[in-house]
Amino acid sequence: MTNNADSSRDAKKKLCTCCECGPEGKMIMPHLLRSHKEREKASAIDATQEAVVNASLLPILSEGSVPRSASPLAPERSKASRPSSKPIKSKSKSPPAKKNDTKNSKKAPKDPNRPRILKDIAHLEQCVDSIMAGLTAPTRLIFSTPPSSQSPPFEQASGFPSTLNHGAHALDSSSLENLSFLSAESQLFDIHLAVHPESRDSVISERREMILEKIEKTRLKMEEAKGAQWEKQRARSASLASDERGGPKILTIDTGYMFRSPFSDVHPLYMACNFLVLVLHLICGVSKSNCDFVLASLGVILQVAFTLAGVEQVPLLKGLPKDTRTSLDRFALDPVTTSYMFCPCCFKLYDDIAPLQSHCTHKETPTSKVCGTAMTATRTVKGKQFTYALRRYFSQDMAHWLGRLLARPGMEEIMDSAANRPLADSCSNCDDIWDAEMFRAFKGPDGKPFALSPDGEGRYIFGLATDGYNPYHNRTAGKKASSTGLYMVCFNLPPELRFQVENMFLVGIIPGPKPPRGHYYNHFLDLLVDQLLQFWNPGVHYSRTVLHPDGKLARCALIPLICDLIAGRQASGMAGIGRNECFCSFCGLDKREIENLDYRTWAPRSFEEHRACAEKWRDAPTEEEREELWDENGIRWTPLLRLPYWDPTKMVVLDSMHNLLLGLVRRHCVEVWGMSVNHPDGDGLEGPRWRAGKRMQEPSDKQKSAARIILEKGSPSKLRTLSKASLVWLCAEADLPYRGVCRELVDSLLKYRTEKKIYEKTSSQRLNKLLENACGAQVNQDDVAKAERCIARGDHKTLAALTVHTLAKCCEKANIPYEKPKARAASMLIEMYPSHLLGPVAAEPEPMEKATSKVPVVLGSGVLRRARNDMGNTDLPSWIGRTPKNIGTTLHGKPSADEWRNFFTVSLVITLIPIWSVKGDRFKKMLDNFMELVAAVKLAHSRSTSSELNDAYQSHMARYVEGLLELFPGHNLAPNHHLALHLKTLFESFGPVQAWRSFPFERLNGVFQRTPTNMRPGQMEQTVFQTFIRGSALRTLLHHEKFPKELRSLQEPFDKAFSGDIRGTLLNDILSSQKSTRVKFKPGHLQRLPTSLMSAFGSWAADFTVSNPPKSLKSVFVAKFDLKGVVFATHEENPKNSYVIFLEDTSGEPMAGRIKYAFTDPRNPESDNLLLAMECWMPLGRKHAKFDYYRQYPVGGGRLYYDSFEAELRIVPTSSVISHVARTPYECEKIGTPCVHILPLDRNLGQLTLFGMPRRR
């Protein structure tokens, strides 16, 4: 029985490993185990209090000093967990003083533990000193209950409270910004508790009083800092409250969370794995399932690596995420967005909140019918029905996006400095949009220049772009759709930053498959305008920015609307270019007068009239009335007019990419000249281009004969009945311009037959005599003249309104019986007029001049073959895109805008000038006309503008259009020709086109199309929207100031891989627009100067002679360097990047050559400035210069040089380098010496216009 009881008792025992039982542990009964645990817990509390005394209580006053293993948030200590307020007792007790000891009452006894106690107090005193030395005024504190204008003033507490961080002035313990302050306060409180109790030992008592005084002084200092923060925030709240009383409420955005580092308490190994997977998913387009596999693979690789290294890292590997969504959550990349559902028919937006609205209830006008389109559908999943919206639209919150931008280190300072640029006078160059008239003259809500922001306020200007893209990327047969993106760009950022993906604001993506037509687009603009109105007045207040820890008010404005013609007209509420009356958004010229090139006669549009027409359309009670107003004015309401400052007649810019490159340049090559490798070269006078199976097919021989008879004998009304094809044929036969509409063609033919005297002069006299001899009643001579005009021009309505006597006499003398009613008599007179009243026709009309050639194209097989050969022989720098050699064929497809520019302004210039200059008068005229457009395109895309360059552009463009009308009589002017003549006004208002063209937004369309989606309309746009914004946020993390040092070596390969290849795009114009002349290069080792370089340097350096050499004859030689975002190289490193044009130091004349050496100044070899040793081409002599046909075109033509170099090197600083050049070998029999053609590729003509034009340094 006893053994059974013992065994049962042993079974109940449990292992205890407390300090008393030892690390191996003992088996004890449960009640004893509880007792041991309670004693262990009490000992732990005592040990904690002892550690307060013995540990080094260094203050944690900055976020950077927090240990990596510590939590980033300091939890508030509860009353229960606070250490006891009783002082720690000394381990050695002093003997109690005797009450009746008179000797001890006169002199305090010496405490036997004095050395140890004084040592403890000294240690505590050192901790307090450390806290005091590190105390600084906090930049910002977050209170649990933020102070308002009604909050009482701050009152300092007298002594330490019983509960720390409690009461009306308590700080938010979950805020990262309070961590340092709360940590220091907590440590000071613990030190105060650890101070020994009063002692009768005078030395101990004196030291105790000293440390308590220091503690109190430190506490008061912290209270003062806390009170200053309280009063500052209270005053700010009162200021905001006063602003709110006078108008709309200021929106306040708490940006504290935006300053939390996602890298705190994260092991670099985790960071590397997470970052790799997110780059693959968000930037490379790898699917989530594949990224999950990458995460699992990384875990296996690390496990194997640790095992082979003999390192136990199981806990570390357990923290590695296994799902991509975990990595996304860790970095907090998601934006603040709002979801809406919208009607698939009228695009009206509704709140996306359950229960979802099933049908659209929108009415266009008060009298319109309810739309009634279904907006939801149901699906069954596992037996349960779910209702979902058919179309959803996600809109990003602009206020939070701007807050994130201002929270990025360095960005706020850059953005605020944009408006502080020095004002440019009228004679100086305009280098950016901030130098132009529009931004400088723009007024804020206070009536003062918007750019001049008050202290503590940010003023930011944005541009809006909208463009459609095919979400199927033309890869899915039969699926044609369009989704529409809305983008914004902040012009306060410099050109090299403002168009980077991570700095652009994606407003939203409107799902397809069909884009919103007409005014349906207004529903989406309304959402954006609501936010812009808040930003305009009263503004948005951010609780914290990098430069303003106490908060900052931001105001924003939208100025330019940057779109192609179709999207721009839709967003601004204007009619398209197809209308006759309203085809131009800048002036009121009628499209039928498009050949009027005198811009001084173009009346500009009035904003007041535009707004009145828009409001009238908006307030129309019926849809029919809206249609009538639209047909009459071509103007409708747009939400952008809700912005009190926005003027559509001045702020809708014309995109140069679509207007000049994809418009005029492409049209000139393909439609004006004709371009085909399947036809021989021609002169462009082939006559009308008939199209088989089309409306403009060539008339038959019978139709041509009938048209000729009507021209010679028919009335104007008969002439008007001819088809356009017949009228075009008649005009071409008569060598008349055959462009324009039928009315214009008829007017030309009537004028022609009058000038050629096809009618006899006696015809009108005979008609008058017949009318005068009319029977019976006298006929008023005015009526006779009127009848003559009416009969001659076939005006039936006016003729029938004449008197019966007048018509009767006309019929009698014309041998026509008079029949009632008058309308019938009038018809008979008009019908019989050619055969009875027309005088005898001249024996034979003068023969009509025929076209001299029937060759269909100008750029035929011969020209294109030679152009391809020249392309292969031309050396271009690496940043210039190569023109496809098969351009002009169906093999290449659709050339891009930059390909058209390079082909037109580089390849064709090199090829056409030498062959057309000597081919004949017509080809010379076509060459001159071509070079006028080349010069206009180059001037329009200059990276800086001035009044001189603007006038030069206008002159070149006007002469080009005039020459086009003269050389190609059958070519109709397009709206782009007229609009191009308005670009001068936009240059004056907005500066260089690099700031306001649509290419950066077109580039985003390509990014959207490359994003993997499920190809379901309404869902794929959401995927693209979220992926793009997350990817943009991820790019910013790589350059975050707290990015782990161990991983910063990833920055350079990341930028190299994902910054994009900008060759062959217009992006190189933007990223190379930097004004800084600072040279970037990798430093190398010092080397001795070669003899040839030493001689050249001696000739160049004024203070260098053989008798007075520099201290060091060595320099750092570099193979390549970066200047203004463009890479230059020595000829040995990269020949194509070594050919440049530069200014000669003494004369200031442009010279061309190649870079032989790039080296630092031997007088200061450690400097960052480089010198270049140039091998310069020999210029042509006078007797050969007359055979250089290129130099007759100063802008865009280039110049010939001998293909040999000067004997001596020339030393120039990098600041003298203008640009790269295109180098092409050239053979000329009349010169007899090998030459090279040098074509400057400078796109900053505001700095220098080469070869004959005025230069400005």
Note whether 302 and 269 are within 8 A (CB).
yes
Supply 404's token pair: 């994130």
Output the pLDDT for position 1070. Answer: 46
Confidence of residue 1083 (pLDDT cuts 50, 70, 90): confident
Q: How far is CA 1202 from the centre of its chain?
A: 44
What is residue 100's predicted lDDT score, i.e. its pLDDT? 43
Domain ranges of the chain: 2-50, 55-76+110-246, 262-331, 656-687+852-981, 708-748, 762-837, 1076-1240
638 vs 736, which has greater pLDDT?
638
C-alpha closest to that of 969 among 849, 1112, 1131, 1128: 849
pLDDT value of residue 342: 95
Mean pLDDT of the chain: 80
**Contact in structure between 1199 and 1223 (CB atoms under 8 Å):** no
* b/e sequence 1042-1072, b meaning 16+ C-beta within 10 Å: ebbeeeeebeeebeeeeeeebebbbbbbbbb
| pLDDT at 128 (0 to 100) | 83
Whether residue 43 is predicted with pLDDT greater than 70 in this model: the reply is: no
CA-based max dimension of the chain:
166
3-state class of 480 per DSSP? coil
Q: Which two tokens stand for residue 472?
A: 């199927």
* pLDDT of 475: 52
Please name the residues in contact with 407: beta carbons below 8 A apart, sequence gap of 6 or more: 255, 258, 259, 544, 545, 546
pLDDT higher than 80, residue 137: no
Q: Is a pLDDT exceeding 60 seen at residue 8?
A: no
Question: What tokens appear for 428 in the block?
Answer: 């100086």
Torsion sign, CA atoms 324, 325, 328, 333: positive
**133 falls in which pLDDT band (50, 70, 90)?**
confident
Structure tokens at 420: 């502080």
Taking 80 as the threshold, does the pLDDT of residue 836 lie above it? no
Q: How many Å apart are CA 1004 and CA 1032, to the nearest integer?
A: 12
Give residue 69's pLDDT. 32
pLDDT at position 310 is: 77
pLDDT tens-digit map of 1161-1195: 887 777 778 899 999 999 999 999 999 999 999 99
Instruction: Tell me how many degrees the CA angle 967-1243-953 measures, rounded to the nearest 5.
Output: 40
Highest mean pLDDT (candidates 840-844, 1110-1114, 1144-1148): 1144-1148
Q: Is the pLDDT of residue 1031 over 50?
A: yes
Flag the least confident range among 617-626, 722-731, 780-789: 780-789
Q: Which pLDDT does position 239 carry in this prediction?
A: 58
Please report the pLDDT score of residue 846 as a whole number. Answer: 36
Which has more confidence, 951 or 79?
951
Contact 580, 485 (CB under 8 A): no
pLDDT for 39: 64
| HSE toward the beta carbon, residue 101, CA cutoff 13 A | 10
What confidence category does residue 1144 fall into, taking pLDDT thresholds of 50, 70 and 90?
confident
Query: What confidence score (pLDDT) does residue 240 get?
Result: 59
Residue for token digits 């407003």? 507
Predicted confidence at residue 102, as pLDDT, reads: 42
The mean pLDDT value for 1001-1017 works out to: 87
The three-state secondary structure class of 393 is: strand
Q: Is the model's pLDDT at 106 over the cut of 80? A: no
pLDDT at position 935, please? 95
Q: Is the pLDDT score of 249 beyond 90? A: no
The pTM of the full predicted model, rounded to 2 decimals, is: 0.74
**What pLDDT score was predicted for residue 1139?**
96
- Choice between 1084 and 436, residue whose per-residue pLDDT is larger: 436
Q: What is the arithmetic mean of pLDDT over 792-802? A: 71
pLDDT band at residue 582 under the 50/70/90 scheme: confident
Q: Looking at residues 813-827, what average pLDDT do you find?
A: 69
Residue 912: pLDDT band (50, 70, 90) is very high
Per the structure block, which two tokens stand in for 299? 């875990």
Would the pLDDT of 802 be above 90? no
Average of pLDDT values for 909-914?
95
**Position 819 pLDDT exceeds 80:** no
> What contacts 24+ positions apart, CB below 8 Å, involve 1018-1022?
1018/389, 1018/390, 1018/391, 1018/392, 1018/511, 1020/471, 1020/511, 1021/394, 1021/471, 1021/483, 1021/509, 1021/510, 1021/511, 1021/512, 1022/392, 1022/394
Q: Cα–Cα–Cα angle for 969, 971, 975, nearest 5°?
A: 130
pLDDT tens figures, 167-217: 788 888 777 678 778 888 888 888 888 886 777 778 888 888 888 888 888
Q: Which of 788-797, 891-900, 1207-1216 shows the lowest per-residue confidence on average (mean pLDDT)?
A: 788-797
The reported pLDDT for the residue numbered 177 is 72
pLDDT band at 1110 (very low <50, low <70, confident <90, very high): low
Q: Cβ(482)–Cβ(503) under 8 Å?
A: no
Find the length of the chain: 1257
Cβ within 8 Å of residue 66, ≥6 positions away: 60, 72, 179, 264
What digits encode the pLDDT tens for the residues 703-717?
Answer: 888 888 888 777 777
Asked if the model's pLDDT at residue 66 lies above 50, the reply is: no
Confidence at 769, pLDDT banded by 50, 70, 90:
very low
What token pair was written down for 661? 């490159």
Region 1110-1119 average pLDDT:
76
Highest mean pLDDT among 64-78, 373-387, 399-413 belongs to 399-413
245 vs 395, higher pLDDT: 395
* Segment 866-890 mean pLDDT: 85
What pLDDT was estimated at residue 1013? 87
Give the Cα separation of 281 and 333 in Å (integer): 13
B/e letters for 1085-1095, b = 16+ CB within 10 Å, e = fewer, are eeeebeeebee
pLDDT band at 1245 (very low <50, low <70, confident <90, very high): low
Residue 668: per-residue pLDDT: 94
CB 1131 within 8 A of CB 1154: yes
Rounded to whole angstroms, how far apart are CA atoms 234 and 44? 44
Tokens of 504: 């652009």
Distance CA 718, CA 724 (A): 13
- Supply the pLDDT for residue 828: 72
Mean pLDDT lowest among 275-279, 470-474, 488-492, 645-649: 470-474
Confidence of residue 1073 (pLDDT cuts 50, 70, 90): very low
* Better pLDDT: 663 or 838: 663
pLDDT score, position 1161: 85
* Residue 977, token pair as written in the block: 């020709």
What average pLDDT does this structure show over 60-71?
31
Burial (CB count <10 Å: 0-12, 13-18, 19+), residue 412: buried
Are 1239 and 906 spatial neighbours (Cβ–Cβ below 8 Å)? yes
Instruction: Return the higher-pLDDT residue of 159 and 1146.
Output: 159
Domain 1076-1240 adopts which CATH fold?
A: SH3 type barrels. (2.30.30)
Q: Is the pLDDT of residue 702 over 90?
A: no
Three-class DSSP category at 1121: strand
pLDDT at 278 over 90: yes
Which strand (E) or helix (H) includes residue 1038?
helix 1020-1038
Average pLDDT over residues 943-962: 93
Winning range, highest mean pLDDT, from 460-464, 672-676, 1069-1073: 460-464
**The predicted structure's pLDDT at residue 1088:** 86
